[in-house]
Structure 1
Amino acid sequence: MPDRSPNRRHILKVIAGFGALAPLPLWANPMPTVEEVAFDPDIPVLGNPDGDVTVVEFTDYQCPYCKLSFLQLSDVMKEDTGIRLVLRDWPIFGEVSRNAALLTLASNSQGRYADAVHTLMTTRDRLTFRSTANLLGEAGVDIDIARGDLEARQDMLVGLLSRTEAQATAFQLQGTPGFLIGKALYKRGMTADDFRKAIAKARA
């Protein structure tokens, strides 16, 4: 059955309805460090690898608010080339989400990580094991190679997901999405204007 996720305009209204952002300084959460979250060597980087502001998104490929926030941030990144983006996969919606996260990470060995992320973040279809493989194939990922790479690097990739889950728990995130921008933590979805303000604050 197709995913009847709320449309973009409706979700924007829902996000806006939460009120003003309330960033939480990291000193309120002694662990993990910004370095551990934003500069994990096992996670591919999107945007500008040398950007002056890092945005970390705790995400699940089946979370509609994660997808909308990602699209809003993508719009901001077209204006601002100083953004370094790190996606921390936190597959809270079960094994299908976990499979999507692992295959997407594995696609990096083929140079297709960015394409895979964009495809899964923009699809409106409900993910299954089969549809995930089909979508990634359409994005240029050789699924057989990705599965082989996943098997070869399983300990590392599964360990990466475990680290992300531990970080989300330490930050007391209640679900996805969550964002670490500079040194401030945002426990909610964000609009383009929200991102602009948070990024400006991080630079200041």
Structure 2
Amino acid sequence: MSKRPIDRRRLLKGAASLAVLAPLPAWASTAPTVTEIAFDPAIPALGNPDGDVTIAEFVDYQCPICKLVFVELKKLMAEDSGIRLVMKDWPIFGDVSRDAARVALLSGEHYTAAVDALMTNQRGLSERRTNDILSSVGVDVAMVRAYLAIREPDIDAALLRTDSQATAFKLRGTPALVIGGSLYRRGMPVSELRQAVAKARSA
């Protein structure tokens, strides 16, 4: 993976061209519900856990556009205390991404810092790099990895639920956002996120 700085404007422009707003209808009897997407008990919420609008982002910790969208989401949460953010780990970049998702989900009280550190990292991941990133924000990586040996079936079940939801939506990659009752098959700058949140509140 390239170590060059991310070109924010280029990537956001590219993300915006991927798709347009698609509502979340009952496409099929197997389509996941908003509750299933936004309130998976295995996934902690960022922002305001009691917020009135939930944003769920299908994300991979090695996806450069996901990282840009996360910056925009942080801006949104800084100005809007009603946002509840759920990171839907969909490790499409392979085993290293899956490993990072597993460890982050088990980082307990450090989960928010772990997500932030992984999303702001601009280097390619490896197990060692993931360990270093999480250790830098206070995660006891040795303890978490020992715990993972016990909790791995539960964590993998959560990742499988997210994968099944992404498959049901026919997503082609990350990022994708579910905001209120609408699916956006792309990343968005904060200006568009505000509009999507306003739409969710008005509904």
- What is the TM-score with the length of structure 2 in the denominator? 0.94
C-alpha distance in 1 between matches for 2:146 and 2:176: 31
Q: Which residue pairs with 1:170 in the alignment?
A: 168
Q: Which residue pairs with 2:38 in the alignment?
A: 38
Alignment of 1:65-144 (within 5 A): 65-108=65-108, 111-144=109-142
> Once the two structures are superposed, what CA deviation does each residue of 1:35-77 show, in whole Å capped at 9, x if it has no partner?
1110111111101011000000000000001110011011011
Give the direction of change, closer, same or farther, for the CA distance of 1:79–1:29 in structure 2 (3 Å limit).
farther
C-alpha distance in 2 between matches for 1:27 and 1:11: 31
Give the direction of change, closer, same or farther, for the CA distance of 1:197–1:114 in structure 2 (3 Å limit).
same
Which of these residues, 153, 158, 163, is aligned with residue 156 of structure 2? Answer: 158
Deviation at 1:19, TM superposition (A): 7.8
Instruction: Check whether the contact 1:177–1:188 (CA below 8 A) recurs between aligned residues.
Output: yes
Runs of 4+ in structure 1 over 3 Å off = none
- Please tell me whether residue 27 in structure 1 is matched to residue 35 in structure 2: no
Give the direction of change, closer, same or farther, for the CA distance of 1:168–1:19 in structure 2 (3 Å limit).
closer
Q: Which residue pairs with 2:47 in the alignment?
A: 47
Identity fraction in percent: 50
Give the direction of change, closer, same or farther, for the CA distance of 1:5–1:166 in structure 2 (3 Å limit).
farther
Q: Which runs of 5+ in 1 are unaligned?
A: none
C-alpha distance in 1 between matches for 2:169 and 2:24: 11
